[in-house]
Structure 1
Amino acid sequence: MIINNFKPYEGENCETTAVGNLLKYNGIVLSEPMLFGIGEGISFIYWDSKQMGFPFLGGRCKQDVLTEKIVKNLNLNIEVCQTTSKSKAWENVKSKIDAGIPVGLKLDSYYLEYFTHKIHFAGHYVTIYGYDDKFAYLIDTAQQGSSVKTSLSSLSDARSAKGPMSSPNRSFIITGKNELPNLREIIISAIYNNAYEYLNPPIQNISFKGIRKTAKVIVNWFEKPGITPELITQTGVLMEKAGTGGALFRNMYRNFLKECDELYKDLELNSSYKNFCTIAHMWTEVSKMICSAGQNSSKQDLQRASDILMDIATLEEETMKTLLSKMQLRK
């Protein structure tokens, strides 16, 4: 069963791509940066735990929260299913596809057969729009090929995988064709809420405080038990290529602010847009320095990355304060 005339929504980030596909099915088409901004997605997290081989640097809000906020701000509904049963999980998805409804899936990309770079990442999202006796037909990011397929058995393994960021066989659909709220009001509220949360992190390893913490600990990565130059290089690659903590989300928020500025000049977002142009470039430099540090076993490159991160934290904090103040006047 394959949903007829299903045209993929192409994106760079897996979660916004999945949401974009489900919204498109509901007749709603917004740019990926607009989805990310409406979802109040910009943030940062430095996450280190015994379960992980190496610290994770993330450049956005928590998994699933982005989707929930997009749906809430657009006055739509989300129906989520989670179960530890592989058979129940598949039956749930299968019934939706049989009814002509595409489904968002959260899973571990390691098991997907079209992935060439095999790293366990259980916070990956895809859209399933069809299946047959052997394969599941999916929409992934443009980088992964957009319209792809993987065996049903590999999909089952990916969905039921355990570990950091995993959710047992999580699937979701988006429904509701109510009249959308006023876009200008949505944008003002989303920017205000995102800026407020960014400036008031609940713990020290989130947002600008997390960036400063990363800047302090990164210089000692070579002394951290179990850390190899290869793992450091891998972190740099993931930041820039996979977008976990590199420039991707800053580029996306930059483009969101630009689009909003073009739509509503009275919001005065151009200066913040220009700041995010600079910020995104700085994140790319951090990724380069981390890669270089791993490739050359260079503590000096980690120190350079640390210095840039300190500057990023200051500029992001200042920019979000400006956005908060401007949107507060317009609420």
Structure 2
Amino acid sequence: MNKNSLKNSGLKIEESKMIIENLKPFDGQHCETTATGTLLRQLNIELSEPMLFGLGEGLGFIFWNMKSMNFPFIGGRIKPDVLTQNIARNLNLELTVKETSSTEKAWENVKTLINSGQIVGLKLDCFHLEYFSRPFHFAGHYAAIYGYDNDNAFLVDTKQQGRQVKTTLKSLAMARAEKGPMASKNLFYTLKLSDKKFDLKKAIPTAIKNNATEYLNPPITNIGYKGIYKTSSEIIKWFNTSKDLENDFKTTAALMEKAGTGGALFRNLYRDFLKESYDLLQIDEIKCGQEAFVEIAELWTSVVQLFEKVSHTKDFKYILQASDILKSISSKEKQAMELLGRI
């Protein structure tokens, strides 16, 4: 591709700089839907973040003690990578995912795609990203890259992280190559249209039923509704053994409500997905499920608020209150997903 054709395709090129100028950054709260949503917008597919999360069959739960974190990880979604796989399948898109252990090859592969005008999704450990104000090791983070120069990579991340951001090429290489839980070998991915159109009216019920089946059949007891119930007792152990109650529960509360890992944010997204789906399909079970998740989302926010109170007061009574609410959430989510599985 010569410079003239690059210019005509909406790209700006210099000897050591490439920016995809006709970028339409996705405005999202959750990292993987934000990155994948940005790739979709380049294909002129405009869907809301709740719709992407729902089509990604994204609702889940995990409580996990990771060696890389000083406190337990509370996750409210299915495992990394699978969300985008589900979106691509339900929208009949071609998803290409590649990994390599070579840092140099990893960058050359992405650079070649950007030079051809292709926005690329990246999987990263956000600890190394310089625009994170409170860095922590989490290797299941996603961003879309749309340009670079001699020193920096230009990314689309969540609105909490600044939306259109930059980080040095060195820091990006470290973020892509980091090892540990949820990490991949410099993973990157692209999306392309296929010769098959997608039909939301067919894709939505399929995604809902698939998500319900997955959620209701957890392989181990720290996943799904069973994991939420287990968390109700695990947080008591955590309170009694924590070496830094203030930081542990403050950080967890922020992650759960805002940063796209824990319960509250994802329940809000799933609630809104069900609302959009009911408006389109008028299926009664979807409406009942949506109403259930209105309450469930509020309960998750209550848990977050209690974690914040634990952080400020170190008072055990707030942990006991959070434990009781988690037991209730476990039961309510199980019932809601059983209902949705019958559509």
Deviation per residue, 1:130-162 (Å, 9 max, x gap)? 111111111111111111111111111111112
Partners of 2:19 and 2:269 in 1: CA distance: 31
**Could you say what the CA RMSD is over the residues aligned between the two structures, in angstroms?**
1.4
Whether contact under 8 Å (2:285, 2:340) holds in the other structure is: no
What is aligned with 1:35?
52
Runs ≥4 residues deviating over 6 A: none
Q: Which one-letter code corresponds to 1:33 in the other structure?
A: P
The normalised TM-score by structure 2 is 0.92
What is aligned with 2:252?
235
Q: Which one-letter code corresponds to 1:31 in the other structure?
A: S
Whether contact under 8 Å (1:236, 1:290) holds in the other structure is: yes
Whether contact under 8 Å (2:160, 2:259) holds in the other structure is: no
Whether contact under 8 Å (1:52, 1:164) holds in the other structure is: no
Partners of 2:86 and 2:240 in 1: CA distance: 40
What is aligned with 1:263?
280
2:211 matches 1:199: no
Structure 1 residues 156 and 279: CA distance shift in structure 2, 3 A: same
Structure 1 residues 202 and 178: CA distance shift in structure 2, 3 A: same
Q: Which one-letter code corresponds to 1:62 in the other structure?
A: K
Deviation per residue, 1:86-125 (Å, 9 max, x gap)? 1000000000001100000010112111111111211110
What is aligned with 1:175?
192
Partners of 2:21 and 2:239 in 1: CA distance: 53
Partners of 1:71 and 1:107 in 2: CA distance: 20
Structure 1 residues 111 and 51: CA distance shift in structure 2, 3 A: closer
What is aligned with 2:83?
66
Whether contact under 8 Å (2:68, 2:137) holds in the other structure is: no
What is aligned with 2:151?
134
Single out whichever of 53-62 and 163-172 deviates more from structure 2: 163-172
Whether contact under 8 Å (1:54, 1:227) holds in the other structure is: no
Partners of 2:215 and 2:221 in 1: CA distance: 12
Whether contact under 8 Å (1:240, 1:248) holds in the other structure is: yes
> Displacement of 1:13 after TM fit?
0.5
> Displacement of 1:289 after TM fit?
0.7
Single out whichever of 261-270 and 74-83 deviates more from structure 2: 261-270
SS at match of 2:19: coil
Deviation per residue, 1:43-98 (Å, 9 max, x gap)? 10011144432111000000000011111111111111211211000000000001
Partners of 1:4 and 1:233 in 2: CA distance: 39
| 1:12-91 mapped onto 2 (5 Å cutoff) | 12-91=29-108
Whether contact under 8 Å (1:3, 1:129) holds in the other structure is: yes
2:301 to 275, 280, 284: 284
Work out the percentage of aligned pairs sharing the same amino acid. 50
Single out whichever of 208-217 and 268-277 deviates more from structure 2: 268-277
What is aligned with 1:9?
26
What is aligned with 2:330?
313
What is aligned with 2:316?
299
> Displacement of 1:280 after TM fit?
0.5
SS at match of 1:121: coil
> Displacement of 1:220 after TM fit?
2.0
Single out whichever of 175-184 and 247-256 deviates more from structure 2: 175-184
SS at match of 2:69: coil
Whether contact under 8 Å (1:36, 1:256) holds in the other structure is: yes
Partners of 2:125 and 2:38 in 1: CA distance: 19
Partners of 1:48 and 1:321 in 2: CA distance: 28
Whether contact under 8 Å (2:98, 2:189) holds in the other structure is: yes
What is aligned with 2:238?
221
1:157 to 174, 188, 199: 174
Single out whichever of 205-214 and 238-247 deviates more from structure 2: 238-247
What is aligned with 2:14?
none
> Displacement of 1:222 after TM fit?
2.6
2:115 matches 1:92: no
> Displacement of 1:180 after TM fit?
2.2
Q: Which one-letter code corresponds to 1:232 in the other structure?
A: F
Partners of 1:222 and 1:265 in 2: CA distance: 45
Structure 1 residues 268 and 213: CA distance shift in structure 2, 3 A: closer
SS at match of 1:269: helix
Partners of 1:265 and 1:109 in 2: CA distance: 40
Q: Which one-letter code corresponds to 2:146 in the other structure?
A: Y
Query: Any gaps of 5 or more consecutive residues in structure 1?
Result: none
What is aligned with 2:207?
190
SS at match of 2:247: helix
Task: Number of aligned residue pairs: give it.
Answer: 326
Whether contact under 8 Å (1:26, 1:177) holds in the other structure is: no
SS at match of 1:137: strand
| 1:241-260 mapped onto 2 (5 Å cutoff) | 241-260=258-277
